[in-house]
Structure 1
Amino acid sequence: MKQKRSFLFLQGVCSPFYQRLARRLTDDGHRVVKVNFNAGDMLYWQRTHAKSYLFRGPLSELPEYISRLRQRHDITDQIMFGDQRPVHRPAIEQAPEAGVRTHVFEEGYFRPYWVTLEREGVNGHSLLPRDPTWFFETGKALPELPKPTHFHSPFKVRAQHDVAYHVAGLLNPLLAPHYRNHSPVTAPVEYAGYIKRFQQLKSWKKRDAKRIKALIESGTPYFMLPLQLNTDAQIRYHSPYSHMEEVMDYVMGSFAQHAPTDALLCIKNHPLDMGLDNYTKTITRLSTFYGLEGRIVYLESGDLNQLLGHAKGTVTVNSTVGLVSLEHQCPTFTLSDPIYNLAGLTYEGALDEFWQQPPPPSAQLFHYFRKTVMYATQINGGFYCRPGIDLAVNNAAHILEACPSPLEKLL
């Protein structure tokens, strides 16, 4: 018989996922309580039949507010999307002493048919060990994983949910006057950037496809530098960098001094970049400064799998692209400390040395690493389209109700 629990929902994704998950948990006999922080949260908490509260005070009052709710409703578990939002930190910090289990959702470490669900934290706060031997032995003992159910999740569906969430936010000055978004970029600025970028994307795709074809067919050795979003928590909270310009400056400087003179550096922009930074101008300036004219290939789009399949190596801060690179047996260097930064997978020496014949990752270790991470932290499903949400709700419910979690059992 399942133990009945009391779940406190904090902020989630801009989609019906939370309300669907709440209904599933209440149908299973659990208590669900929700804290809304703005009008968008309220919009996506309709028809749940669960108790909800609107926090209207300043952030300084949130720890006490959460503590009172926890005591009033005998909260045993708390659920959130991302572990670095200011509205989540007080709840996470209080949880161990209060005996509350923390469940964190995040975009999948492996994509596109997976989302992440971990206890206590994700990414840099993950409970996953940093011991390659543990992954080897654990993965070796696990059964082969079933293939995921595939689904189509159009970007326009995600965009529609995002717009609806932020349009509702026009009521925030009235309903939640102290609320401040966790993102440093406001929605109007973000949307203006996307509109301009998507208008140019069609021509970029044709141009970049030609560049990639020419690059691969030339046989010229090249290294990959995939850019990340400056607003991503992976950069803001889990790396020593504050902006991709800093990353490009450091990597291009090292490449200029230590890479083989016949090698190229291929820099690829993030597919969800808002276009607020003129990376073409930045790369041109840095190329001139470091004497790299003609040795940099910059792409706004393109098939990443195709590129990684022929690259001599990949340099990343902590992007999930690093996992794709490892999957392609491409030597990989991390500038930070992601979950896959393990001896035998990523390069252990200095970046200056990486450009000279870096060894490929261990295929066997990566196989066991992937199998372990998938088993312990990934659930088949998505946050935005209906088929993906159906899968995610069903698969997440089993893990949320389980004690201990799959990862805790392995540990």
Structure 2
Amino acid sequence: MGRFMARQFLLLQGPCSPFFTVLARTLADEGHGVHVLDLCGGDLLYRWRLGGQRYRGDATNFGELIDDFLGYRGISDLVVFGDQRPLHRLAIQAAERQQLRVHVFEEGYLRPHWITLEPQGVNGCSRLPRDPAWFFEAAHCLGPAKPPVPCISPFLTRATHDVVYHLAGVLNPLLFPGYRGHAPVSAPLEYAGYVQRLTRKRLLAGIEANRIKDFVSAPAPYFVLLLQLDSDAQIRCRSPFPDMARVLEETLASFARDAPARTRLLIKNHPLDPGLSAHHRRARRLAQELGIDRRVLFIEGGDLNGLLPGATGAITVNSTSGFVALEHGCPLLTLGDAIYTMPGLATGRQRVPAGFWHDPPAPNGALYQALRTTLLRTVQLNGSFYCRLGIRLGVHHSVRRLVTERSPLEELLSCLPAAA
């Protein structure tokens, strides 16, 4: 019965793409009420045909407004992309006070071909337990997941959506005077950094490819440090480090102090890093100061599937790249809170322990497969936010999930409660 009961959805900010527009239309076509609140010019550009309302104020008054909006409109479900944007946090708090359902979209935990949709929150706010025994039992109950329809969004498609969305920000002073973006730097500054970094990557691609080949094929053991974006909410809100500069300082100092003399360190930059923090220069300077520059290699590119199988271990704060390490059975250390940080899978510390450089514990392959199966059956949806096929698939699966009374994760937790 719950599946066919009309609901009232409120959509706030979505990804920089038409995904939320298609989602809203599909929900409306199925007879559900859809309300849209535009917060900036990018929202308005992509969703102007939906006839949403505009919020012109700032975060100061948003909490009170959204409280009233949810009640006055009879909203039953709040839908957002990302749970750590300031206005989204206020909206989620208001929805929880009124005991409404909250649905949070995010990039896929498992990539490509997947997007994330969870009740209440994602990553550090996820309701997923961190108990290995629970995941073994959950995977047994759920059974294997179906293989996905391949849908990889070309970089140019994603970049085009991002540029178009942020170009519409020229409307903000007039139509959204109180809006302040959640990103720490402006879009034009990021784009300028991307252009410079991509130019440098292309010029040095051949040289770097040879360096990677020589590094990976050498007999001496190596570890991989997986950098994240300074702007990532996982770093800004769910990490003991304010940025990647501090991660580099901590990891390189630990490596110089505690790692065996033959051990090497490969530092891999995030593929979408705009280059504004010049991590390559900082890493080189720190390595020289610590006397380990001959044992450290910083790379802008490289394929994780080629780097991690031969690595002695990998280090990340809480990146989804950690799933790739676990997929290859690579020992993994997390310096922050990640959903895969649990006994038998990934070691969680706020500093790199000396023992990790000497004898990193291998992940339990069966536990990883249990975690992966549980994610695929409960909080991952086949699709993408950016390409046409991915949007069509993602919306189709999302609507089925949104209109049911309880999500698969909620159903699972009701019959298989997590240990207190």
TM-score by length of 1: 0.97
Task: Write the distance in 2 (CA, Å) between the matches of 1:177 and 1:46.
Answer: 18
Q: Which residue of 359, 367, 388 maps to 1:386?
A: 388
Task: Write the distance in 2 (CA, Å) between the matches of 1:168 and 1:96.
Answer: 32
Letter in 2 for 1:4: A
Residue 69 of structure 1 is matched in structure 2 by 69
- Give 1:260 shift: 1.1
Residue 118 of structure 2 is matched in structure 1 by 118
* Aligned partners of 1:271 and 1:300 also within 8 Å: yes
Residue 43 of structure 1 is matched in structure 2 by 45
**Structure 1: any 5+ residue segments left out of the alignment?**
none
* Aligned partners of 2:58 and 2:180 also within 8 Å: no
Task: Write the distance in 1 (CA, Å) between the matches of 2:309 and 2:205.
Answer: 19
Task: Write the distance in 1 (CA, Å) between the matches of 2:354 and 2:404.
Answer: 46
- Give 1:97 shift: 2.1
Query: Is residue 2:69 matched to residue 1:87?
Result: no
Task: Write the distance in 2 (CA, Å) between the matches of 1:356 and 1:6.
Answer: 55
Letter in 1 for 2:216: I
Residue 352 of structure 1 is matched in structure 2 by 354
Alignment RMSD (CA, Å): 1.2
TM-score by length of 2: 0.95
Query: Is residue 2:417 matched to residue 1:399?
Result: no
The DSSP-based 3-state class of the residue aligned with 2:115 is strand
Task: Write the distance in 2 (CA, Å) between the matches of 1:57 and 1:13.
Answer: 21
Task: Write the distance in 1 (CA, Å) between the matches of 2:118 and 2:367.
Answer: 22
Task: Write the distance in 1 (CA, Å) between the matches of 2:53 and 2:117.
Answer: 24
Task: Write the distance in 1 (CA, Å) between the matches of 2:169 and 2:48.
Answer: 15
Residue 366 of structure 1 is matched in structure 2 by 368
Residue 418 of structure 2 is matched in structure 1 by none
Task: Write the distance in 2 (CA, Å) between the matches of 1:52 and 1:280.
Answer: 44
Letter in 1 for 2:84: Q
Task: Write the distance in 1 (CA, Å) between the matches of 2:403 and 2:268.
Answer: 41
- Give 1:152 shift: 3.5
Deviates more, 1:99-108 or 1:154-163: 154-163
Letter in 2 for 1:52: G
Residue 202 of structure 2 is matched in structure 1 by 202
What are the Cα deviations for residues 254-296 of structure 1, in whole angstroms up to 9, with x where unaligned?
1111111100000010000101122222112211222212010
Task: Write the distance in 2 (CA, Å) between the matches of 1:17 and 1:280.
Answer: 35
The DSSP-based 3-state class of the residue aligned with 2:203 is helix
* Aligned partners of 2:17 and 2:46 also within 8 Å: yes
* Aligned partners of 1:347 and 1:354 also within 8 Å: no
Task: Write the distance in 1 (CA, Å) between the matches of 2:256 and 2:53.
Answer: 56
Count of aligned residue pairs for this structure pair = 409
* Aligned partners of 1:340 and 1:346 also within 8 Å: yes
The DSSP-based 3-state class of the residue aligned with 2:409 is helix
Task: Write the distance in 1 (CA, Å) between the matches of 2:208 and 2:226.
Answer: 15
| 4+ runs deviating over 6 angstroms | none
Distance 1:10 1:286, change over 3 A: same
Residue 138 of structure 2 is matched in structure 1 by 138
Query: Is residue 2:224 matched to residue 1:243?
Result: no
- Give 1:196 shift: 1.1
**Structure 2: any 5+ residue segments left out of the alignment?**
414-420
- Give 1:39 shift: 1.4
Task: Write the distance in 1 (CA, Å) between the matches of 2:33 and 2:99.
Answer: 17
Residue 232 of structure 1 is matched in structure 2 by 232
Query: Is residue 2:44 matched to residue 1:59?
Result: no
Task: Write the distance in 1 (CA, Å) between the matches of 2:257 and 2:372.
Answer: 35
Deviates more, 1:325-334 or 1:214-223: 214-223
Letter in 2 for 1:14: C
Deviates more, 1:193-202 or 1:72-81: 193-202
Deviates more, 1:226-235 or 1:214-223: 214-223
- Give 1:348 shift: 5.8
- Give 1:368 shift: 0.4
Residue 297 of structure 1 is matched in structure 2 by 297
